[in-house]
Amino acid sequence: MTVHKPSKQSFLPSETMNTHLGSLHHATGFNAWMFSQYRDWIRWGKIWEIGSGTGNMSEFLLGAELACLTEYDDQFRAVLEKRFLGAARVKVEPVDLTKLDIEHFRSYEFDTIISTNVLEHIDDDIAAIRSITATMKPDAILITLVPAHQALYGALDEFVGHFRRYSKKSLTRALEDGGQELLSLRYFNRLSAVGWFLKFRVLRSRKITDGDVEMVERLLPLMKLEKFLPLPFGQSLIGISRKKR
């Protein structure tokens, strides 16, 4: 399969991405479930969220001493600033992992860094991880969530500018080559992987609809049963790592 590679850091225009993120804003139960998958790894001091989008996952970080929400897209940052206006412990900043201001982000001394569905948008993901690693203090935790299985790469992946989807082997290699020591790696959201394959690979759809989100919310109790059946696949991979010592 030929993976769409439009630029080194690939994102849709804001108005198009807002359609997708707007639908996901209503996936409150799913978002909470996803957050629960890595919540216990979070060190609740200073948290840096890379690629905050419109803040659908940022809501869960408001208990931190500092939640630094960073976003590449100017319009998304405007949404974040409006959404979290008045939140004294929230800071919104621009970020570009292809030319990261390492000294600036290192100065924060973050306890936890969270990257959710970001690395797949970047051509040289290993260089991006190296830049993140360079900002980290020794005891900081990096939480990385990415789409899983290249076999699931479909029309939506191409449309939103994904360079790739990851296997356990490829994410492990990227993190380790980027200077990280892997602490945990597991698949997440197994049932949705089947639906993703059918809708976006077989049927070639390029849109997540409100109806899709409503279905996910209804099926959430069934989806959560995956903890009793840890099959070797999922729609996403979650890696927990720290800077190599």
Please answer whether residues 55 and 79 qualify as being in contact, where contact means their C-beta atoms are separated by less than 8 angstroms. yes
- pLDDT tens per residue across span 176-190: 999 999 999 999 999
Mean pLDDT of 217-224: 95
Domain extents in the chain: 14-243
Is domain 14-243 annotated with CATH 3.40.50.150?
Answer: yes
**Which residues, 6 or more positions from 159, have their beta carbon under 8 angstroms from its beta carbon?**
12, 206
| CA dihedral (154, 28, 117, 101) positive or negative | positive
Residue 218 belongs to what H/E stretch? helix 210-223
**Is the pTM higher than 0.85?**
yes
- pLDDT tens per residue across span 119-164: 999 999 999 999 999 999 999 999 999 999 999 999 999 999 999 9
Closest CA to 61 of 81, 94, 39, 82: 39
